[in-house]
Amino acid sequence: MANKAKEKEPLLTIKGLKTFFPVKSGFLGKVQSYVQAVNDINLTIYKGETLGLVGESGCGKTTLGKTILQLYKPTEGEMIYEFADGPRNLEKLDAREMDEARKKIQIVFQDPQSSLNPSFTIYQSLSDPLKKFGVKTKEERRKLIGDLLEAVNMRREYMDRYPHEFSGGQRQRIGIARALCINPELVICDEAVSALDVSIQAQVLNLLKKLKEERNLTYIFITHDLSVVEYISDRIAVMYLGRIVELSDADELYHHTIHPYTQALLSAIPVADIHHEKNRILLEGDVPSPMNPPSGCHFHGRCKQCQEICKTEKPELKRYEINGREHFVACHFAEENIKRVCQGE
């Protein structure tokens, strides 16, 4: 892993990204306040990596994914994508350029049932993007879609069937095939395996891993399931109320957990191993509302280490090094925690 770091080339750089949704009320629809879904995110996604994005519901992970795709307009900040002809800010692209960008960035949604048109056959669903992006003849499209279906371990003939004829796992594989049909570089998987049964989940996870190798893809893998994200990701970013609280290599995050929120999150996960030592840190209360987030560190109301400074000052995401490997943490007591975690070994 360590030598990998040298050859890292950024693909997408996110700087100070904020996505707020206005809350309107009253007759004139006056804006009362904002839901601060994504609040000041700095993140670099490197070519060929899988970045896991984890957090509880309402922490802004999906909003971040959709903002990258320009499905939501960001309030502030920039997203710089490395196109073949140089870096450009995604937000500043005009409609035609955005089409080009969409060719590079694709998304796989959580619920395959609702993301496929029930009255279209699989061929119809998959051929639209191909038509738009220049595969003109029907024969070519049929061949391409057939190849894709085979790539996701399904049979060619399935392209003339309707979505209801497939099981959940198969539909999700069609969703993946659709995302891949125009050869994207970056695929955003938004809870792509959460709706599937465990035995099917493993099939889809292994498929995603295989496709990444074959097609040289970069994934942003959004999920709430830490065991899954640890299995598939190279790096993991943990989000809490619109901010990234911890970011590091996947195994590093597990071995040296620094942020108190990540510690609690990891300890809360039921592990499918009966001999696993249970050392649960119970968090009190619920995630505060993103409409009115707490001052200072967003986590301070539920944190055991909370001091005066946490209530007033927002901790920045800072870079630390643990045994020579980089680790980003946003906590006033990061250094203290690093020392404690390293001593415990």
Partner 1 sequence: MSDNVVISVKNLKTYFYTNERCNRAINGVSMDIKSGKTLCIVGESGCGKSVTATSIMQLLPKLSRIEEGEIIYHSGDERGDIRIHELERSSKEMRALRGRDIAMIFQDPMTALNPVYTIGWQISEMIRSHDKSVSKAEARERALKLLTDMGIPNPQKRIDQYPHEFSGGMRQRAMIAMAMSCNPKVLIADEPTTALDVTIQAQIFELMDHLKKNYNTAIMMITHDMGVVCELADDVAVMYMGNIIESGSAEEVLDHPTHPYTKALLKSIPILGKGADQDINPIKGSTPDPYKRPPGCQFEPRCDYACEECKKAMPDEHMLEGTHMVRCTRYQEVMKDGK
Region from 33-41, 277-285, 309-317, 337-345 binding partner 1, contact rule CB under 8 A: 277-285
**Per-position x/- string for 42-81, each x denoting binding to partner 1 as judged by CB under 8 A, each - no binding:** --------------xx------------------------
84 binds partner 1 per the rule CB under 8 A: no
Strand partners, 17: 41
303 binds partner 1 per the rule CB under 8 A: no
- List helix spans (H) across 133-225: 138-151, 168-180, 198-215
Q: Report the run of H or E that residue 20 belongs to, with start and end.
A: strand 10-25
228 binds partner 1 per the rule CB under 8 A: yes
292 binds partner 1 per the rule CB under 8 A: no
Looking at the Cβ atoms of 101 and 200, the one nearer to partner 1 is: 200
Q: How far is the CB of 127 from partner 1 (least distance, A)?
A: 26
**Per-position x/- string for 229-248, each x denoting binding to partner 1 as judged by CB under 8 A, each - no binding:** -xxxxx--------------
Q: How far is the CB of 303 from partner 1 (least distance, A)?
A: 12
Looking at the Cβ atoms of 130 and 226, the one nearer to partner 1 is: 226
**Per-position x/- string for 3-42, each x denoting binding to partner 1 as judged by CB under 8 A, each - no binding:** ----------------------------------------
Handedness of CA 154, 156, 161, 162 (dihedral sign): positive
Q: How far is the CB of 86 from partner 1 (least distance, A)?
A: 33
Closest C-alpha among 50, 32, 49, 53 to residue 41:
53
Looking at the Cβ atoms of 166 and 328, the one nearer to partner 1 is: 166
Distance CA 223, CA 52 (A): 7
287 Rama class: left (phi>0) / alpha (psi -120 to 50) / beta: beta
Instruction: With H, G, I as helix, E, B as strand and everything else as coil, classify residue 293.
Output: coil
2 binds partner 1 per the rule CB under 8 A: no
Per-position b or e across 179-215, b if 16+ CB within 10 A of its CB: bbbbebbbbbbbbbbebbeeebbebbbebbeebbeee
344 binds partner 1 per the rule CB under 8 A: no
Instruction: With H, G, I as helix, E, B as strand and everything else as coil, classify residue 186.
Output: strand
Looking at the Cβ atoms of 286 and 336, the one nearer to partner 1 is: 286
Instruction: Please work out the total of residues on this chain that contact partner 1, with binding judged by CB under 8 A.
Output: 45
**Per-position x/- string for 246-265, each x denoting binding to partner 1 as judged by CB under 8 A, each - no binding:** ----xx--x---------xx
Is residue 66 within 8 Å of 90, Cβ to Cβ? no
Q: Which of 31, 271, 309, 342 binds partner 1 (CB under 8 A)?
A: 271
Distance CA 338, CA 2 (A): 20
Q: At what angle do helices 122-132 and 138-151 cross, to 10 degrees?
A: 120
302 Rama class: left (phi>0) / alpha (psi -120 to 50) / beta: alpha
Distance CA 198, CA 69 (A): 29
202 binds partner 1 per the rule CB under 8 A: yes
Q: Which residues bind partner 1 (CB under 8 A)?
A: 56-57, 167, 169-170, 197-203, 205-206, 224, 226-228, 230-234, 250-251, 254, 264-274, 276, 278, 280, 282-283, 285-287
